[in-house]
């Protein structure tokens, strides 16, 4: 084998010259799979999802009933142009560039409040993928109420993570307020479980107050009309809850607070800490800390003691108003409408906390009934269908990596009457809907496709699933009883004509009497037996 030419090893000084800053945009350009843009099929859905999520967040924040239009238009082989238009509050001119042309820029990252957006990455990532694959910037049209509408093109200067704005102009637009985003990208339309249509359908299940219009690439129009005119309550913004709060986070809060006294810091920078609880925590922490200690001067050692004391002190559960579930009645109505099942049940758990972040879990289950044409419910021999949602957003990818799937697999479905292969989903004509709503959903990656398995979240999911399972078992037992009783009746029913004939002959009954006897015997058979409700 020829020997490789010997190269002198680089010195530390030479190695040092290779070190460079990496812009966040350059990083995500190389790692676009982390943002959900790993194939043209996935790219379409991810781009639509980011824009629809933003539209719904903006409308709800401005207390507007959302009406969102999605239009997909073929441009070239493998290239689609997607427009997403909302009736939200619009975007003020000065913000447009950064929102659409700068990664990690947004209004939601720094506040603990339930919303679909969290990271400040979504829509600019879609713009970056579009620019990479077609060279076209995003086209934005937006109008704030009482102001003229603006239209402009926004690209991204990836080496500096800065917006590149072109062709800014005022335009006539018949709408009073709203935003329209147009994205031209390398993408393919998919049918079935990963289609835009399915995504919008699932969005409407979890958001019954939303109307969604779709025109697909073939020109087919579909509308999902809202079933309620009531907006969900606005989730309250909160401070971190002491349960599960990490030491590093506590230290960061101590360093950045404007509070001048530790007592006030604990009460105002954390959730559910009143003055008595604050006093108790400080006394327990000891290490020279008092209610009047200056938070920014708390030493590492004292912060550790404070951290231990925080966790050893009982603090009330988070206020329920910071997380907004879809709600039992709304979820049940959506499930019944969409699944055509024989039996539906929904369980909503009270708020719990992981890593200092309140969250709430809801689980719905639909069993049996007519197999639905759109394939939401599975057949008897197939694994059950899972519909996963996080902050009302359907999750369509990474099912096996998700805490919600894990929780379904780990539930003992055999004791609830289903076939359940080990380590897999149970089998049966069933649909399970799972929703995790939180002030901060712990996604497994930036593409927000699966929820991480924090023990507290897994526990809440398990409790909700078991409660649904128990109700399913009762339903299946009732169905079984009814079907056995029906079987018995059917067998007796076959003898009624023979009994009537025999009696007619034996007692020499006339035809009218024989007919009455047949009716009475048949009616008696239909009466429910004691303890049998039908
Ligand atoms: N259609 C819209 N109407 C009004 N404001 C919008 C709209 N789209 C985006 N925004 C604003 O732009 C910000 C950035 O959006 P972007 O999708 O990049 O991040 P995000 O929604 O905050 O978080 P995530 O990365 O999780 O989606 C949002 O926080 C919101 O304030
Ligand atoms: Mg977003």
Ligand closest to 105 (CA) is 1
Segment 142-163 mean pLDDT = 95
Helices (H) and strands (E) in the chain, counts: 15, 14
Average pLDDT over residues 369-396: 82
Yes or no: say if 84 and 70 are a contact pair by the CB < 8 Å rule: yes
Edge to edge, the sheet with strand 162-171 lists: 162-171, 149-157, 138-143, 178-186, 79-86, 67-76, 211-215, 221-224
State if residue 118 touches ligand 1 by the CB under 6 angstroms criterion: yes
- Which ligand lies nearest the alpha carbon of 163? 1
Q: Which ligand approaches the C-alpha of residue 440 most closely?
A: 1
Which ligand does the CA of 104 lie closest to?
A: 1
pLDDT (0 to 100) of residue 28: 85
* Lookup result for tokens 């009537």: 500
pLDDT at 483 over 80: no
Nearest CA-CA partner of 115 in 241, 270, 235, 233: 235
Ligand 2 center to residue 120 CA distance, Å?
6
441 close to ligand 1 (CB < 6 Angstrom): no
Which residues on adjacent β-strands are paired with residue 153? 139, 166
pLDDT at 533 over 60: no
Q: Is the CB of 120 under 6 A from ligand 1?
A: yes
Q: Decide if 59 contacts 87 (C-beta within 8 A).
A: yes
Span 421-430, average pLDDT: 95
Q: pLDDT per residue over 90-141, tens digit each?
A: 999 999 999 999 998 988 887 888 999 998 999 999 999 999 999 999 999 9
Q: Read off the pLDDT band of 375 (50, 70, 90).
A: low
The pLDDT confidence band at residue 530, using thresholds 50, 70 and 90, is low
**Ligand 2 centroid – CA 125 distance (Å):** 10
For residues 534 and 531, give the distance between their C-alpha atoms in angstroms, rounded to a whole number.
Answer: 10
Residue of 28, 54, 89, 122 to test ligand 1 pocket, by largest number of atoms within 8 Å of CB: 54
Ligand 1 near 50 CB (within 6 A): yes
Which tokens in the block code for residue 80?
A: 């689609």
* pLDDT value for 71: 98
The residue that leads in pLDDT, 333 or 371, is: 333
Task: Write out the residues surrounding ion ligand 2, Cβ under 5 A.
Answer: 54, 117, 122
- Is residue 2 over pLDDT 80? no
* Rounded average pLDDT over 299-315: 94
Distance 49 CA to ligand 2 centre (A): 9
Query: Cβ(86)–Cβ(178) under 8 Å?
Result: yes
Residue 56 CB–ligand 1 contact under 6 Å:
no
Ligand 1 within 6 A of 85 CB?
Answer: no
Overall average pLDDT of the 374-398 stretch: 88
Q: Is 90 exceeded by the pLDDT of residue 421?
A: yes
What average pLDDT does this structure show over 419-446?
A: 95
119 Cβ closer than 6 Å to some ligand 1 atom: yes
Q: How far is the CA of 177 from the centre of ligand 1 (A)?
A: 16
pLDDT cut 90: percent of the chain above it? 72
Q: How confident is the model at residue 532 (pLDDT cuts 50, 70, 90)?
A: low
Who wins on pLDDT, 416 or 356?
A: 416
pLDDT tens digits, residue range 22-47? 888 888 888 888 899 989 999 999 99
The yes-or-no verdict on residue 509 having pLDDT over 90 is: no
- Indicate which residue's Cα is closest to atom 14 of ligand 1: 106
pLDDT digits (tens, 9 = 90+) for 250-260: 999 999 999 99
Confidence of residue 56 (pLDDT cuts 50, 70, 90): very high
Rounded mean pLDDT, 457-480:
94
Ligand 1 centroid to residue 428 C-alpha, Å: 40
Residue to probe by mutation, ligand 1, list 36, 48, 57, 161, most atoms within 8 Å of CB = 57
Alpha helices, H only, 18-91: 24-30, 40-61
For the stretch 256-276, pLDDT in tens is: 999 999 999 999 999 999 999
**Which contiguous run of DSSP H or E holds residue 279?**
helix 275-285
Residue 371 above 70 pLDDT?
A: no
Q: Is 88 in the pocket of ligand 1 (CB under 6 A)?
A: yes
Confidence of residue 402 (pLDDT cuts 50, 70, 90): very high
Residues 411-434, mean pLDDT to the nearest whole number = 95
d(C-alpha 64, C-alpha 160), whole Å: 36
User: Which residue, 396, 394, 391, 68, is CA-closest to 224?
Assistant: 68
Cross-strand pairs, 389 = 394, 435
Ligand nearest to the CA of 97: 1
* Sign of torsion over alpha carbons 373, 377, 383, 385: positive
- For ligand 1, atom 13, the nearest C-alpha belongs to 106
State the pLDDT at residue 529. Answer: 66
Q: Is any ligand 1 atom within 6 A of the Cβ of residue 117?
A: yes
d(C-alpha 410, C-alpha 461), whole Å: 10
């Amino acid at each position: 084998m020829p020997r490789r030419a010997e190269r002198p090893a680089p010195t530390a000084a030479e190695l040092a010259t290779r070190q460079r800053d990496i812009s966040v945009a350059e990083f995500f350009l190389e790692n676009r799979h982390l943002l959900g843009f790993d194939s043209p099929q996935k790219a379409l859905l991810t781009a639509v999802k980011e824009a629809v999520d933003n539209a719904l967040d903006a409308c709800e924040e401005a207390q507007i009933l959302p009406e969102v239009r999605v239009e997909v238009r073929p441009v070239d082989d493998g290239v689609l142009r997607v427009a997403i238009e909302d009736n939200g509050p619009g975007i003020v001119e000065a913000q447009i560039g950064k929102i659409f042309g700068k990664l990690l820029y947004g209004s939601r990252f720094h506040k603990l409040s339930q919303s679909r957006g969290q990271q400040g990455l979504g829509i600019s990532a879609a713009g970056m993928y579009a620019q990479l694959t077609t060279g076209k910037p995003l086209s934005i049209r937006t109008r704030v109420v009482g102001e003229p509408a603006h239209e402009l093109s926004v690209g991204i200067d990836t080496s500096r993570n800065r917006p590149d704005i072109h062709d800014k102009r005022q335009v006539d637009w018949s709408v009073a307020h709203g935003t329209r985003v147009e994205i031209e990208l390398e993408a393919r339309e998919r049918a079935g479980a990963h289609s835009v249509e399915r995504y919008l359908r699932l969005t409407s299940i979890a958001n019954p107050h939303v109307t969604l219009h779709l025109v697909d690439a073939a020109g087919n129009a579909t509308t999902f009309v809202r079933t309620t005119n009531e907006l969900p309550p606005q989730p309250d913004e909160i401070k971190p809850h002491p349960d599960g709060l990490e030491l590093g986070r506590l230290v960061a809060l101590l360093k950045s607070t404007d509070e001048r006294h530790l007592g006030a810091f604990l009460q105002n920078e954390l959730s559910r800490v009143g003055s008595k609880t604050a006093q108790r925590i400080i006394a327990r922490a000891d290490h020279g800390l008092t209610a009047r200690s200056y938070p920014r001067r708390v030493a590492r050692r004292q912060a550790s003691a404070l951290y231990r004391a925080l966790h050893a002190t009982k603090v009330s559960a988070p206020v329920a108003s910071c997380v907004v579930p879809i709600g039992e009645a709304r979820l049940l109505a959506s499930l019944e409408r969409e699944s055509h099942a024989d039996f539906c049940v929904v369980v909503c758990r009270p708020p719990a906390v992981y890593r200092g972040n309140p969250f709430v879990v809801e689980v719905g289950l639909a069993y049996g009934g007519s197999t639905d044409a759109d394939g939401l419910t599975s057949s008897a021999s197939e694994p059950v269908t899972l519909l996963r949602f996080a902050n009302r957003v359907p999750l369509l990818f990474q099912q096996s990596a998700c805490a919600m799937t894990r929780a379904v697999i780990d539930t003992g479905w055999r004791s609830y009457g289903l076939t359940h292969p080990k380590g897999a989903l149970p089998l049966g004509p069933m649909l399970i809907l799972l929703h995790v709503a939180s002030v901060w959903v712990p996604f497994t990656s930036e593409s927000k496709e699966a929820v991480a398995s924090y023990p507290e979240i897994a526990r809440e999911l398990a409790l909700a699933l078991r409660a649904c399972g128990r109700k399913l078992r009762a339903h299946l037992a009732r169905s079984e009883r009814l079907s056995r009783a029906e079987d018995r009746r059917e067998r007796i029913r076959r003898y009624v004509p023979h009994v009537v004939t025999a009696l007619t002959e034996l007692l020499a009954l006339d035809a009218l009497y024989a007919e009455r006897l047949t009716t009475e015997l048949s009616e008696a058979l239909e009466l429910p037996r004691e303890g049998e409700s039908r």
